[in-house]
């Protein structure tokens, strides 16, 4: 499998896939249902599929050897099976055009997964690993810097007029017009870089890592994504209570670097204040609510952008159609509700039932089952990121394949492959290879 993953076509595709997660701008337009777009990962996915089908037994055997790949593969197969249910529903409702969109979503899910599989086996030695990490850090820095420069008026808006109108001109560089795309991309990147800082085997200059980290933190704040703020808060709490002394030192160093970056762009302070006020302070009916947990329900209502009502509607829908609870009503099938729940768990029950919910938890928790005691940096980043996602997924569907969120699911899986690489050098963890 390592030889296959190192073939020139797959090697180039692996690097293009990583680039596509940071460069989400469309590269091709077509029309099936409205204005549709294709991105780099849509094209490189064809090569992943080609090599997968012609090496079916080898790739599947390799997948079965890695716990987090095997667990996601089970979820993916179930989603593929439930697409047939969606087909039946849309044939009955004469909505085959909508079904084609669902097929594209499933295609993305497969591409993200196969790209993760090939990347896992491509990162087979330290030299390759360091090259990949370097590209990762360059992309994080570049994307965060573009966002900062946009917010001080140097770089223009990069998306179409349609996105400008739909997302009110939100400045997100090349990552995606939705706030959570920028927020979650930066959050995942932050966790990854923190893992590198505290991983001795990475052999990267520690001080140098604080530059992309500081840029990513500023970009995360500028995102205005409240769901990303929640996830970042959960991660920091985990970091604080598991490695308190390291957290304190980390906070001091990061604070210094952030202040240095801000000193070169003083206008960004005003922008940060504006974002916090417009996304949090001004949304509260009573700002003093933040100082007390007594009005937590009101805070959630104020900041949730109607999520409480969406969740209530989904719960009523599930109760009213109890027959869908075991297996769901079909992959990406929102018939009967028509809108997003902004809650991963409710969405899974509606689409994939309790079976799908179980498989999803089995995948996301599989990262916690891997022993990381010999690599505290990996433990901080990996476990903290998982807990951050488990909480934040109650408020969003960022680890799924809905179009507005683009490639976050794939980026999350790829990040874990790179993050967990140091464990594969330990004899104790050789079974994870």
Question: What are the pLDDT digits (tens) for 210-259?
Answer: 999 999 999 999 999 999 999 999 999 999 999 999 999 999 999 998 89
28 φ/ψ angles, rounded to the nearest 5 degrees: -155, 140
Averaged confidence pLDDT in the chain: 89
DSSP one-letter code for 30? E
What sign for the dihedral angle of Cα 46, 51, 52, 54? positive
Q: Residue 287's pLDDT is what?
A: 58
What sign for the dihedral angle of Cα 255, 300, 303, 277? negative
Tally Cβ neighbours within 10 Å of residue 162.
11
Whole-angstrom distance, CA of residue 162 vs CA of residue 177: 10
Whole-angstrom distance, CA of residue 352 vs CA of residue 341: 14
Q: Residue 242's pLDDT is what?
A: 93
Whole-angstrom distance, CA of residue 285 vs CA of residue 367: 39
DSSP one-letter code for 6? T
Q: Residue 39's pLDDT is what?
A: 92
pLDDT of 94 > 90? The answer is no
The burial class, CB within 10 Å (0-12 / 13-18 / 19+), for 91 is exposed
Whole-angstrom distance, CA of residue 419 vs CA of residue 415: 6
Q: Which long-range contacts (CB under 8 A, 24 or more apart) does 289-296 make?
A: none
Q: Residue 124's pLDDT is what?
A: 86
Whole-angstrom distance, CA of residue 194 vs CA of residue 419: 10
3-state secondary structure of 38: strand
Q: Whole-prediction pTM value? A: 0.93
Q: Do the Cβ atoms of 52 and 114 come closer than 8 Å?
A: yes
Tally Cβ neighbours within 10 Å of residue 203.
10
For residue 388 the two structure tokens come to: 């951050």
Please give the distance of CA 380 from its chain centroid, rounded to a whole number.
18
Continuous segment of H or E residues that includes residue 233: helix 226-242
pLDDT band, very low/low/confident/very high, at 97 (cuts 50, 70, 90): confident
Kindly calculate the radius of gyration of the chain based on its CA atoms and give it in whole angstroms.
21
Average of pLDDT values for 276-295?
A: 65
Whole-angstrom distance, CA of residue 27 vs CA of residue 13: 16
Q: Residue 428's pLDDT is what?
A: 38
Cα-based distances in Å from 331 to 100, 339, 350: 12, 14, 9
Q: Do the Cβ atoms of 86 and 331 come closer than 8 Å?
A: yes
Average of pLDDT values for 377-400?
A: 95
Whole-angstrom distance, CA of residue 396 vs CA of residue 342: 4
The contacts of residue 40 (CB under 8 Å, 6+ apart) are: 16, 17, 19, 20, 23, 27
Q: Do the Cβ atoms of 224 and 279 come closer than 8 Å?
A: yes
For residue 326 the two structure tokens come to: 């075991």
Helix then strand count (H, E) for the chain reads: 18, 2
Say how many CA atoms lie within 13 Å of 372 toward its Cβ: 23
Cα-based distances in Å from 423 to 113, 191, 374: 21, 17, 8
Whole-angstrom distance, CA of residue 132 vs CA of residue 212: 15
Residues 315-374 pLDDT 10s: 999 999 999 999 999 999 988 887 888 899 999 999 999 999 999 999 999 999 998 878
For residue 203 the two structure tokens come to: 């052999």
Please give the distance of CA 247 from its chain centroid, rounded to a whole number.
24
Whole-angstrom distance, CA of residue 67 vs CA of residue 367: 8
pLDDT band, very low/low/confident/very high, at 432 (cuts 50, 70, 90): very low
3-state secondary structure of 372: coil
Helices 206-223 & 179-197, crossing angle to 10 degrees?
Answer: 160
Say how many CA atoms lie within 13 Å of 273 toward its Cβ: 6
Name residue 38's beta-bridge partners: 28
Q: Do the Cβ atoms of 242 and 198 come closer than 8 Å?
A: no
Q: Strands 36-38 and 28-30: what pairing?
A: antiparallel
Q: Residue 427's pLDDT is what?
A: 44
């Amino acid at each position: 499998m390592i030889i296959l993953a190192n073939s020139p076509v797959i090697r180039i595709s692996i690097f293009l896939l990583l680039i596509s997660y940071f460069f989400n701008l469309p590269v091709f337009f077509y029309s099936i249902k409205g204005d549709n777009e294709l991105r780099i990962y849509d094209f490189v996915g064809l090569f992943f599929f080609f090599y997968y089908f012609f090496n079916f037994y080898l790739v599947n055997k390799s997948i079965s050897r890695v716990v987090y790949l095997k667990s996601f593969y089970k979820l993916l197969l179930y989603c593929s099976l439930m697409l047939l249910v969606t087909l039946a529903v849309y044939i009955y409702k004469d909505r085959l055009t909508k079904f084609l969109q669902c097929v594209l979503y499933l295609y993305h899910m497969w591409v993200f997964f196969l790209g993760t599989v090939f990347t896992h086996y491509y990162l087979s030695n330290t030299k390759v690993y360091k090259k990949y990490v370097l590209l990762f850090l360059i992309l994080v820095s570049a994307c965060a810097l573009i966002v900062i420069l946009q917010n001080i008026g140097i770089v223009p808006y990069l998306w179409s007029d349609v996105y400008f109108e739909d997302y009110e001109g939100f400045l997100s560089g090349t990552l995606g017009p939705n706030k959570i795309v920028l927020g979650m991309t930066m959050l995942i990147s932050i966790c990854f870089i923190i893992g590198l800082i505290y991983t001795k085997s990475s052999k990267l200059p520690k001080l140098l890592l604080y530059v992309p980290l500081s840029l990513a933190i500023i970009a995360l704040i500028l995102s205005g994504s409240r769901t990303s703020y929640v996830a970042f808060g959960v991660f920091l709490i985990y970091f604080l209570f598991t490695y308190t002394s390291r957290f304190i030192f980390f906070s001091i160093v990061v604070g210094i670097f952030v202040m240095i970056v801000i000193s070169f762009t003083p206008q960004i302070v005003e922008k940060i204040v504006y974002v916090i006020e417009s996304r949090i302070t001004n949304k509260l009916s009573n700002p003093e609510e933040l100082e007390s947990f007594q009005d937590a329900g009101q805070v959630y209502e104020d900041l949730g952008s109607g999520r409480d009502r969406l969740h209530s509607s989904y719960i009523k829908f599930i109760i009213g159609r109890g027959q869908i609870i075991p297996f769901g009503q079909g992959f990406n099938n929102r018939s009967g509700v028509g809108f997003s729940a902004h809650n991963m768990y409710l969405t899974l029950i509606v689409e994939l039932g309790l079976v799908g919910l179980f498989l999803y938890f089995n995948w996301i928790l599989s990262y916690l089952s891997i022993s990381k005691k010999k690599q505290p940096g990996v433990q901080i980043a990996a476990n903290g990121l998982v807990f951050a996602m488990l909480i934040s997924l109650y408020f969003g569907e960022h680890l799924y394949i809905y179009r507005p969120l683009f490639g976050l699911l794939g980026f999350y899986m790829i990040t874990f492959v790179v993050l967990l690489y140091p464990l594969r050098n330990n004899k104790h963890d050789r079974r994870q290879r």
